[in-house]
Amino acid sequence: MCKYSISIAPCIVLFYLLCVTHGKWIGRNNLKQTSDEFDVLIFTQRWPLTVCFEWENKSRLNDTHSCVLPKRTEWTIHGIWPTKYNTTGPQFCNRLPFDSKAIAPIEGELKENWIDIQKGSKPYSFWRHEWDKHGTCAISVKDLNNEFKYFQTALKLLDEYNMIDVLAKANILPGNKYTVQNYLTGIQKILNKRGQVMCVVDQKTKNSYVNEIRICFNKTLQLVDCDGIYNFPTNCKSQEIIYPNLIPRYHRYNVKQI
């Protein structure tokens, strides 16, 4: 009996520790996300030529992807993303369904500046996705507390912080190569805040292309450093980052300008 009791005691202790640990894990993951559970707002702009390149590269043999590009050479909006430091999210916070009628007054501007590069997508699908995933988590912010304000504010931020202008002021121009530090230093020099640069790599040539630039705001929409966000300050691995003025491996018949 004594021998058997000694052998089962560690099992009881182990079972107890597992229960406690498992209980804590469940508790953490069952915390309800609310709209104010974030540290910073990331305003993400993307370079359409790189986005198109990435989209075309995902084509399969019988599924040729084509793109829609802006008429002007400019960066376009990806979204405003409420974000916790050192992670992603929150996401899909509230049951506030997307309503295309809510953004009707600014739909023309959105079509020019918040473009769904993926030609053939269902109408409103990109905007619906950004609202459902990110906009619903931003409603604690006064200027983002409904669908119309979320999209309107993004347009205002693009007008003030469009990276085609910010980078140009730092002498960073399409059609050239720069180090990732050139981009980061240029953004900081012009905006006086640290941003984030994201790249896409051509797996065949190993060339890196600038894909997105992200700048950060607090909950009163004051520009702040992006320190602490996931992948800060960059995911770029190469020293030289191409800022393309044409779609890499450009296929004119796959591209439509709007």
pLDDT digits (tens, 9 = 90+) for 67-109: 999 988 899 999 999 999 999 999 999 889 999 999 999 999 9
pLDDT digits (tens, 9 = 90+) for 140-199: 999 999 999 999 999 999 999 999 999 999 999 999 999 999 999 999 999 999 999 999
What Å distances lie between residue 43 and 36, 65, 214, CA to CA? 17, 27, 6
CB count in 10 Å sphere of residue 247: 21
Q: How much of the chain exceeds pLDDT 90, in percent? A: 72
Residue 64 tokens read as: 């040729």
Residue 206 predicted with pLDDT over 50: yes
Residue 144 tokens read as: 């983002």
- Alpha carbons within 13 angstroms on the beta-carbon side of residue 153 total 26
In this structure, which amino acid lies at residue 13? V
Centroid of chain to Cα 78: 6
Residue 34 predicted with pLDDT over 90: no
Place of tokens 């730092």: 170
Say whether 70 sits in a helix, a strand or coil. Answer: coil
pLDDT digits (tens, 9 = 90+) for 111-145: 999 999 988 789 999 999 999 999 999 999 999 99
Mean pLDDT of the chain: 86
Q: In this structure, are residues 136 and 107 in contact, taking their beta carbons and an 8 Å threshold?
A: no
Q: In this structure, are residues 137 and 33 in contact, taking their beta carbons and an 8 Å threshold?
A: yes
C-alpha to C-alpha distance for 72 and 74, rounded to whole angstroms = 6
Peptide bond into 97 cis (omega under 30): no
Residue 5 predicted with pLDDT over 70: no
What's the confidence (pLDDT) of residue 10?
44
∠ CA 223-108-257, nearest 5°, is 95
Once rounded to an integer, what is the mean pLDDT over residues 193-216? Answer: 96
What's the confidence (pLDDT) of residue 171?
98
CB count in 10 Å sphere of residue 184: 18
When pLDDT is cut at 50, 70 and 90, the band that residue 2 belongs to is: very low
pLDDT digits (tens, 9 = 90+) for 45-59: 999 999 999 998 886
